[in-house]
Amino acid sequence: MSLEKTYPKEVKQILAKYPPEGKRSAVMPLLFLAQREPGYITKAAIEDIAQILDITTTEIDAVITFYTLYHQEQGGKYRIQVCNDLPCALRGADKFLEDLCENLAIKVGETTPDGAITLEAVACLAACNNAPMFQTQGPDGIKYHENMTVAKTLDLIQTLKHAGKEAE
């Protein structure tokens, strides 16, 4: 199913924000829209967006692989993206990530067996002074969590899982 058939109103609204000669600038909002329902961007969606914007799939792949907000593989209901660039690592982010992996019994990039959490390492979420920190991506949007401990994170994960069960 094409993006224009699935979300005709939203696609039209997004494209209306850009002049026809600058429609390629709509790539990011269209990618975010394409990712909304499945939680990741399919090859078909990439081809569809390329056709809508008259750009190549390679150009779209470059955007997807640059930004941590876009995903090409299905993950958990929630993605926890821990910043572990150098300044955050100096404030304990690597140890935090290692301990979190141990507690969740998964490796970075993996999803918990219940499909609830995918744990990822990312660079620069712009809060190095409050590391360890991470962002969650899920049905309730993107949220930032700063000055975290493993215990506080595990509590948050339980809250997210509980909220997910109530929504079902």
Query: In the prediction, which pLDDT does 139 show?
Result: 82
pLDDT in tens, 77-104: 999 999 999 999 999 999 999 999 999 9
What is the distance between the alpha carbons of residues 43 and 87, in angstroms, rounded to a whole number? 35
Residues 44 and 89 in one domain: no
Helices (H), the chain: 3-6, 8-16, 27-35, 43-53, 57-66, 86-90, 93-104, 150-167
pLDDT in tens, the chain (168 residues): 688 899 999 999 999 999 999 999 999 999 999 988 888 999 999 999 999 999 999 999 999 999 888 998 889 999 999 999 999 999 999 999 999 999 999 999 999 999 999 999 998 889 989 999 999 988 888 899 999 999 999 999 999 988 766 555
> What's the confidence (pLDDT) of residue 49?
96
For the record, the structure tokens of 153 come out as: 């994170």
The per-residue pLDDT for 1 is 64
Specify the CATH number for the domain of residue 97.
3.40.30.10
* pLDDT value of position 166: 56
Q: Tell me how crowded residue 20 is: count the other CB atoms within 10 A of its CB.
A: 6
What pLDDT score does 58 carry?
A: 96
Per-residue pLDDT of 24-40, as tens digits, reads 999 999 999 998 888 89
162 in the same domain as 83: yes
pTM: 0.78
The rounded distance, in Å, linking the Cα atoms of 40 and 118 is 12
Tell me, yes or no, whether 99 and 147 share the same domain: yes
Instruction: Provide the domain count of the chain.
Output: 2
Please identify, among 12, 42, 66, the residue that sits at the C-terminal boundary of a domain.
66
Look up the domain containing 37 and give its range.
Answer: 3-66
For 93, the token pair is 């982010």
* Predicted pLDDT of residue 59: 96
Instruction: Please tell me the predicted confidence (pLDDT) of residue 168.
Output: 53
